[in-house]
Amino acid sequence: MRPESPADHTAEAERLLRTAAQYPEDQEPLLLQAAAHLELAGDRPRASSLYDRLLTEPAIDLANPHLVKALKAANLWEYGHEAEAHAIIDGIRAARPRDAAAWEILAETLETHDELEAAEDSFSTAVGLFINTPGEETPEISYPAHSLLIGRHRVRRLLARPHDNWDELTDRLHTGEISLNELHDPKRLWALGSDNPAELKAEIARLRAELASYRQALSRPFPVAVLHWPEAELAELLDSYPALATEYPTHRAHLLDLEHSLRELAAAGTPNLGIVTGTVPSYEAFAASEAAPPSNAELLPQYATTLAARGRAMPWPPAKSAPCWCGSGRAYRECHGGAM
């Protein structure tokens, strides 16, 4: 059942902590989820202790340490530890990590607390790390970079900054019926207090359009995800659970089937496609959390969806010149991006 009350969120956090103790190799995603539930339960000090545990425990090999630091800073600020949060944010900005999610969280934290100049500077720094200086043509932009552009556009609108090349690029990438200039207009807030029915009706229409765009954006970190097994992991999986051989006759067939499935989904108009990479320990931990045997093939798509919900999905297709998703080291167009 979906957690709704603070008690529900606390109970879910406890379940995740028990699972993390049972499967230490999968602690990072499990502890992050537990911390998020504790924040929703209002237990922010305990959530911070989990972020500290992730950052300091030697046995945990963090994949995204700057993301964890950004989450910790956002949480600290919410319960009165502004100076400590600032110190963490300043450290992340100085490190200039190649982690779009960390940049977005810290910039939005600054924005939420009305430090708009610092938020704009953070968004701009991050955009510069992920996107070349824009020209007249619209470049190929990944979703994380697009999200940073939108945040930057919003903050600059609040600061009444004139449009620059990146703002114009963001406008070109926007596909909603209502322009970003209107969606990010600070004067819209004034209309919410109007007693004019026509103004209120217009604002409701704008809010509905914004909500539709927001829902579409929310679906991006949770794409329709297809599960990819590296060769060594697949061999270990089939050695442990031979019944799954019907799903994966050979590793080569698995890779070809994955690409073919994604192309079919794209041709059918399915948006937000992604690839998640599985590991046997993570899959076994997921199966345990579902109280089901790992040999049950019906768990595989659920496992893929769970990995995507944890932010583990890589958008598909990659750029033609980017490394192929399969890990071959070749460009996508010279590997699985070629004709099938």
pLDDT digits (tens, 9 = 90+) for 169-183: 888 888 777 788 877
Cα torsion through 26, 29, 32, 33, rounded to 10: -110
Give me the mean pLDDT over the 46-75 stretch.
91
Which region among 161-175, 179-193, 233-247, 271-285 has the lowest average model confidence (pLDDT)? 179-193
Q: In this model, does residue 21 exceed pLDDT 50?
A: yes
Residue 150's identity, in one-letter code, is I
Which region among 2-11, 210-219, 246-255 has the lowest average model confidence (pLDDT)? 210-219
Provide the residue count of the chain.
340
Q: In this model, does residue 218 exceed pLDDT 50?
A: no
Query: What is the reported pTM?
Result: 0.60
Within 10 angstroms of residue 28's Cβ, the number of other Cβ atoms is: 19
Write down the pLDDT at residue 1.
42
Q: Could you give the angle at which helices 65-78 and 82-95 cross, rounded to 10 degrees?
A: 160
Q: What are phi and psi of 272, to 5 degrees?
A: 55, 50
The one-character DSSP state at 227 is: E
**Closest to 310 (Cα-Cα) out of 61, 29, 18, 17:** 29
Write down the pLDDT at residue 285.
84
Write down the pLDDT at residue 223.
59
Chain centroid, CA 43 distance in Å: 23
From CA 230, how far away is CA 327, in angstroms rounded? 8
Question: Can you tell me whether residue 276 is helix, strand or coil?
Answer: strand
